[in-house]
Amino acid sequence: MRVALYPGSFDPITYGHLDILKRAKRLFDKLIVAVVENPRKAPLFTATERRWLVEQALAEEGITGVEVITYSGLLIECAKELGVAAVVRGLRATSDFDYEFQLALTNRDLDSDIESVFLMTAGQYSFLSSSIVKEVKQYGGDVSKFVPTCVERALAEKFGQPGPGGKTKK
């Protein structure tokens, strides 16, 4: 069985992540989404919240059969422990390449048995990032085209704004 790991900060998950996830699901027998506990930047959501949002987003989009975990420490250790064949990452634009190149070659140096596989995101999400979504929402913008409703609601709560239905959570 070909198992792949789809790691990330997912702070929060966006439609861009879900696009890559659906593509990876078609290529592998099993897909595991791995939410890193300590991302490089201080996250808006805790690891538990980020994992919960991934699970809620999958349910909202009707995507089944995907395992969601959190991990701390080295990605390649997590991949080795799970016995995955590949680590899947999404590419949006050439701006991603240097960073992904560094991750991939470092991981290969740490464990050459695990390949990094890159999937091109859909054009409509090629500009999207969790950071830009948070910024738009923080300043009151509409992110409904960028994230599932569960994520939009969680962002509204974080920023003390009314939820998608216009109600502020009591």
Residue numbers annotated as active site: 17, 41, 92, 130
Q: Could you say whether residue 107 binds ligand PNS (CB under 6 A)?
A: yes
Beta bridge mates, 35: 8, 70
Among 18, 53, 75, 155, binds ligand PNS (CB under 6 A): 75
Q: Could you say whether residue 103 binds ligand PNS (CB under 6 A)?
A: yes
Handedness of CA 70, 75, 81, 86 (dihedral sign): positive
Q: What is the torsion angle, in degrees rounded to the nearest 10, for the CA atoms of residue 139, residue 55, residue 101 and residue 111? A: 150
Looking at this protein, which amino acid is placed at residue 162?
P
Q: Could you say whether residue 16 binds ligand PNS (CB under 6 A)?
A: no
Q: Which is nearer to ligand PNS, 124 or 131 (CB)?
A: 131
Distance CA 99, CA 107 (A): 12
Among 5, 33, 36, 58, binds ligand PNS (CB under 6 A): 36
* 42 neighbors 68 (Cβ within 8 angstroms): no
Block residue for tokens 């080295």 = 74
Size of site (CB under 6 A) for ligand PNS: 11
Q: Could you say whether residue 4 binds ligand PNS (CB under 6 A)?
A: no
- How does DSSP classify residue 28? S
Smallest gap from residue 131 Cβ to ligand PNS (A): 10
Binding footprint of ligand PNS on the chain (CB under 6 A): 7-9, 36, 39-40, 74-75, 103, 106-107
